[in-house]
Each structure stands twice: as C-alpha cells, then as structure tokens.
Amino acid sequence: MPIVLEKLSHIYQQGASTTTALKDIDLTIGDEDLLALIGHTGSGKSTLAQHLNGLIKPTSGRVLLDGRDINAPGEDSRKLRFRVGLVFQYPEHQLFEETVYKDIAFGPKNMGLSEVEIDQRVRGAMDTVGLPFEEIKDRSPFEVSGGQMRRIALAGVLAMRPQVLVLDEPTAGLDPRARDLLLSDIQRLHQEGTTVVMISHAMDDVARLATRIAVLEKGALAMVGTPGEVFSRYEELTAMGLDVPQGCQLTRLLREMGGPAMADCYLLESLADSLTQQIKGGDGGAA
C-alpha cells in the first residue's frame, strides 16, 4: 500500500508568528520499503511522521494512501487512517491501562471489533514482539522492564494490524539487548510485508536495515535514495550535522590518505570483504 506525499507543507501558527515545519515535500513510500527518515533535531521528521496517519493535517498538499486522500472528509478516510500505525517517541509514556492485555486491546476496541477478534489480535501482536502472553497479560504494564514496556506499546499499535508502520525513534533510550530485539521485530514485520517508516539517529542501524533513506533539512526533503547513494554524499550529510556510519568515515579517510578505494562503505560485512581483498591482493603484488 504505497503512501504518496504530494507537495506537502505544514505551517505552525503561534500567535502572530508562523513557522514552516514542512515545505513542499514530494515523496513516494513503496510497499516494499523500509524507509529511514533522518535529519537534525528540528528538521521536521516527527511532524512528517505524524502526517502519515492524519494526526496532523497538512496546511497544503495531500497524503495519499493507495491513491486516496487520508484527510478527505467522511468515515472512509477514518478507516483509511487506521491502516497506518504510528508509534511515538517513548511510546511507553502513553501506557495507561491496568493490565498489559487491556492496554494492547485498546486500539482494536476503538476500531469496534468483536471480543473474539480483539483477543486474537492481542495474542498475535504479543507473539510478534516476543512478549509471553500467559506470563504478562494480567500484569500492570508499569511493572515490566523498559524494553518490555516499549514492546507493549508497539504491540498496541500492531494489534490494529496496520499495513504501514511508522516509528519515531523506536530504540531511543533502550539498552543494546532491548534495541536488538526491537530492531529484529521491525525487520521481521517488514519482511512479512508491512511497509515501515522509521525515524532514527542511529546511522549504523539505518545502514543495516533501510531499503531507502529520506533526509530532511529545515523542513525540506534534501535527499532520497538507497543507503549506498545517501551515505556516499558524506560532505552534505556532515554539513547538515548528521552522523554517517563509521564504515563510510573510514572509506573517506582512506581515500584522503591516498589509500585503497572501497566500493561500498555502509555495511561492515562488505567493507571487511573488500578490505580483505585489497590487503591480500596488495600483499601478493608486493611479494
């Protein structure tokens, strides 16, 4: 289910002053995408993400899901918006129910589903994110670990069975183990056919997971492309104050020092392969 942003702009009004948060964004997110949205703090990433499920309405331009405007008036658009699940930053701050089960069931309940359907969805969502159903369904969502709280919040969105999943810095503040678990959940959802849009500052994660990257700067779309394309534009990214994966920093430094040229830089595995080739080949030549 592709999402198309057409000349999307958003202007915040604060008293007499206005701030342009998003400016003429044209972007197509394809079914098969795991799109990473990167940019400096204040570049408009979160504002853009909140447009994708109609939480914020564009000042001008449109958000099309499967060719239909999600902000058109009427019940159909409401149903359309249910197909996009948004997971906020620190979503565990929004847990509120007495039990894990009730919290995850909240969204499906809102959709007006039957009890049986709700039960299936809660079980399914907990299974997807690796939460043991019997063990924690009746516990308070505030009694579990931070990583589990994050996954309960994600399960609450997944229980609505969105076809598009939008995540705003899903791993912020998690320890490495909880981060890896969550990222592999996201990767699996993507492989099983969910379109994913993920805001992240962690470039090494982005390099590993994304099929495409969109870079926002000052509310405008500065670049869109594959990780290889985007991370090869090292100077522009660093000028925007963004990190690049360390593999790309190494590739660049080697080039500056007059050393070997590497084809791809953003995946450590392939970098290790081409360095090995260079080094072994180089030694052979010298000997």
Partner 1 sequence: MTTIPHLVLDQVTYRYEPEAPPAVNQVSLTVPRGQFAAVLGHNGSGKSTLAKMLNGLFLPTEGSVLVSGMDTREEKHTWDIRQAAGMVFQNPDNQLVATRVYDDVAFGLENIGVPTQEMPPRIDEALRLTGMSEFADRPPHLLSGGQKQRVAIAGILAMQPEALILDEATAMLDPQGRKEVFDTVARLNREQGITVVWITHFMEEAAKAQRVLVMNHGGIEMDGTPREIFSRVEEIRDLRLDVPPMTKLAHMLNARGVPAAPDVLTVEEMAREVKRLCPSCWKN
Task: Please report, as ranges, the residues that interact with partner 1 according to CB under 8 A.
Answer: 40-41, 145-147, 172-178, 180, 201, 204, 241-243, 245-247, 249-250, 253-254, 257-260, 268-269, 271-273, 275-276, 278-280, 282-283, 285-286
User: For residues 15 and 258, which CB has a smaller minimum distance to partner 1 in the complex?
Assistant: 258
Residue 146 Cβ vs partner 1, minimum distance, rounded to whole Å:
6
Q: Name which of 177 and 235 has its Cβ closer to partner 1.
A: 177
CB of 133 to partner 1, least distance (A): 22
Which residue, 192 or 283, is less far from partner 1 as judged by CB?
Answer: 283
User: 284: burial class by Cβ within 10 Å (0-12, 13-18, 19+)?
Assistant: exposed
DSSP line for 93-114: GG--SSSHHHHHHHHHHHTT--
What one-letter code names the amino acid at 226? T
- Give the separation between CA 127 and CA 129, rounded to whole angstroms: 6
Name the DSSP letter for residue 219: T
Distance CA 97, CA 104 (A): 9
For the bound state, the minimum distance from the C-beta of residue 168 to partner 1, rounded and expressed in Å, comes to 13
Residue nearer to partner 1 on the CB measure, 1 or 268: 268
d(CA 39, CA 48): 11
Of the CA atoms within 13 Å of residue 267, those in its CB half-sphere come to: 14
220 or 268, CB closer to partner 1?
268
- Measuring CA to CA, how many Å separate 198 from each of 50, 71, 156, 248? 12, 22, 17, 21
Q: In this complex, which beta carbon is closest to partner 1, that of residue 192 or of residue 269?
A: 269
Q: How many angstroms separate the CA atoms of 192 and 285, rounded?
A: 47
CA geometry: angle 199, 206, 169, nearest 5 deg: 25
Greatest C-alpha distance within the chain: 75
At its nearest, how many Å lie between partner 1 and the CB of residue 280? 7
CB of 204 to partner 1, least distance (A): 6
Phi, psi of 214 (to 5 degrees): -115, 130
Residues in the chain: 287
Residue 246 Cβ vs partner 1, minimum distance, rounded to whole Å: 4
User: CB of 88: closest distance to partner 1 in angstroms?
Assistant: 14
Query: CB-wise, 193 or 241, nearer to partner 1?
Result: 241
- Which two three-digit tokens encode residue 106? 């909240």
